[in-house]
Amino acid sequence: MKKFFGLFLFSCLLAASAASAVKQEKDFVDAGVLTYLGTTEAEFQAGLDDLRKAVAPLLPTEENKGEWSDYDMMEGFLTSLVKNRRVIHFYDSLLSMQMALRSGQLDEIALPEPVGMYLVQNNPKYDIYFSLNMLPSTISFGFRNGNESLCREFNSAIKAMKNDGTLAKLRKNFVTELGQSQPEEIKFQNFKNAATIRVAVTGDLPPIDFIASDGKPTGYNTAILSEIGKRLKKNIRLISIESGARSSALASERVDVVFWYRNTGGLKTLPKVKDKNLRNVMQDTATGVLLSEPYYDWDTDLVIGVAN
Amino acid sequence: MSLNEILYRILIQGGSYLTILKGLRATVEISVFSLFFGTLLGAFVCGLRMSRLKIFNIPAKIYIILLRGSPVLMLLMLMYYGVFARSSLEANTIAIVTFSLNVAAHVAELLRASISATDFGQVEAARTLGFSAFQAFRLVTLPQVIQIAKPVYQSTVVNLIQWTSVVGYVSITDLTRVINNIASRTMQPMITIIIGMLIYLALAYVVHGIFALTDMISNRGKEKEV
């Protein structure tokens, strides 16, 4: 019996090693993307394939490169996209995506610029392959459908913060000039007899949604919330939760607010692509949730891979 | 970045080890309470299940099938976001209730299997010698049941500790959640997760040690009798 079992294990190992040896040079690139909540993996893939077809004859040449905005930035990625098809894989968490990249299941991952910078700065095993400024994205607060009053209050606070430069200041302190240091601790003001707004934090999108080493949420999102609490004169309670449980928490009224990260603009900066459907195909429309004004936006994603 | 530096960032920087200990405490707390209440409830369900009356044994059967056959995460989500969504119970309490219900089903089955494995003839012999039904159970059946059930019970305990790793879904910061947070913060998931696994492994060994200790104590008692 023991011999049988040993033989079985041995043959399994042999088969596995043979399979990996047979694996040929593939003609596509496995790419990881953080899950777009408003679209499916197949739709995203179809959109990217259409784009690839549309872009192939349009690739900038020496003569017409003036017609392309951000020629230098785009050329690398578009040429690479036309050469190698991207097979898209959605990942619910940055951690699993990063591990897939490390183990070679993925060849590259696309991340929002601040998150990508944080990854590269904190783990020298990774490098930026391309920067992609065609998928403008935003982060907003998400509310339960029907909770318009809270959404309006948040919107007015966000607008005021935009106008008086608070957003820009916090963005500078907590994202762009953060570097390798940890975001500082954030204090919340306490209002007696005021309502409490419960907000779900996950810590899965550093340095924006971030949980510090003392276990306390901090980072850009938390700084914004502290400021909003001050302006609305309401208490904010942060509830640390697994990102997969956010929608359940919101729907069952365990929390009132979640962070909502999405792609908003489709393929905005591809002027040569005339087909409007094509340009909107990767747009991530929110369903079943009420979104506030965005309080963070960027139009650059970083494509990151293992450093050579 | 050297390994030492990475380990420093994962374990020490900014009091990280205290956060890990807090997470460990949450895991142990939920496990211990769930085990206690789950075992009591399990013994009760086992009693119902072994009853000859259908009104007792059919509900017990259904309970065991439902709870053993469904993933504990689903049950936890259902309890926290459904059944107790409007209550002011703490997340910890709800997690303990859920895990107790789940463990009870497993304990009920393992007790039933252990009781069936004992020889009923011994109880009959005891009864003819004038033992009451309770005495026969306490002095003849129970000691054997404990011996038979022990190894399976030990693995149930270890399983329970591992099942509790899903409580992050109901806003409890347990060991798994702390490990995930650290992995996100340091962007070093591989090393961080290996450290997390080692801590769970250590917990399993502590359980193993406790069971070995009880074995030693009961063996010593036997030697004295001889």
Confirm whether A35 is domain-assigned.
yes
Model confidence at B47: pLDDT above 90: yes
Alpha carbon distance A304, B44 (integer Å): 56
At residue B15, the 3 state secondary structure works out as helix
Q: Is A212 contained in some domain? A: yes
pLDDT tens, residue by residue, A220-274: 999 999 999 999 999 999 999 988 888 889 989 899 999 888 777 666 555 556 6
**Beta pairing, strands A301-306 & A126-132:** antiparallel
Which residue type, as a one-letter code, is found at position A282?
Answer: M
**Residue A306 located in a structural domain:** no
Condensed to tens digits (0 to 9), the pLDDT of residues B103-161 reads 999 999 999 999 999 888 998 999 999 998 889 988 998 999 999 999 999 999 999 99
Nearest to A253 by CA among A173, A167, A144, A170: A144
Q: Which residues contact B162 (CB under 8 A, 6 or more apart)?
A: B200
pLDDT of A25 over the 80 cut: no
Eight-state DSSP code of residue A67: G
Place of tokens 């990767």: A282
Strand segments (E) across A108-212: 108-112, 126-132, 137-143, 196-201, 210-211
Looking at the fold, whether A142 and A254 belong to one and the same domain comes out as yes
**φ, ψ for residue A202 (rounded to 5)?**
-115, -25
Q: Give me the residue from A119, A212, A244 closest to B187, CB to CB.
A: A119
Structure tokens of B91? 């997340």
- Amino acid A232: pLDDT: 92
The answer to whether residues A42 and A173 belong to one domain is no
Q: Which residue carries 């696309």 as its tokens?
A: A110
ipTM over 0.85: no
Domain membership flag for residue A76:
yes
Query: What integer is the mean pLDDT of A35-52?
Result: 81
For residue A196, what pLDDT is reported?
92
Of B14, B77, B81, the CB nearest to A214: B14
Task: Please indicate, yes or no, if residue A21 is contained in any of the structural domains.
Answer: no
| Structural domain count, chain A | 2
| Residue A93 predicted with pLDDT over 90 | no
- pLDDT number for residue A272: 59
Q: Are residues A156 and A291 in the same domain?
A: yes
d(CA A90, CA A88): 7
What does the pLDDT read at residue A83? 82
Instruction: Mark which residues 82-121 of B lie under 8 Å from A by CB.
Output: 82, 85-86
Phi, psi of A298 (to 5 degrees): -150, 155
Q: With bands split at pLDDT 50, 70 and 90, how would you rate the model's confidence at A276?
A: low
Q: B14 in contact with A at a CB cutoff of 8 Å?
A: yes
Token representation of residue B196: 């997390």
Pick from A263, A236, A261: nearest CA to A132: A263
Same domain, A244 and A125: no
Q: Does domain B3-225 have CATH number 1.10.3720.10?
A: yes
What confidence category does residue B59 fall into, taking pLDDT thresholds of 50, 70 and 90? very high
User: Residue A2 falls within a domain, yes or no?
Assistant: no
Mean residue pLDDT of chain B comes to 92
Cβ within 8 Å, pair B85-A253: yes
C-alpha A245/C-alpha A256 separation (Å) is 13
Residue A114 placed within a domain = yes
Could you tell me if B188 lies within 8 Å of chain A, comparing CB atoms?
A: yes
Q: What is the CATH number of the domain that holds A289?
A: 3.40.190
Indicate the range of A40-54, A147-161, B152-166, B171-185 predicted with least confidence. A40-54
Tell which wins on pLDDT, A131 or B92: B92
Query: Domain residues for A204?
Result: 138-263+272-297
Does A212 contact B186 at a Cβ distance shorter than 8 Å?
A: no
Please answer yes or no on whether B185 and A206 come within 8 Å at the CB atom: yes
Contact B146, B207 (CB under 8 A): no
**Amino acid identity, residue B24?**
L
A68 pLDDT more than 80? no
How far lies A294's CA from each of A37, A40, A158, B80, B217, in Å? Answer: 16, 23, 8, 30, 65
- Name the CA radius of gyration of chain B, rounded: 22
Taking residues B176-181, report their average pLDDT: 93
- Clarify whether residues A100 and A144 are in a common domain: no
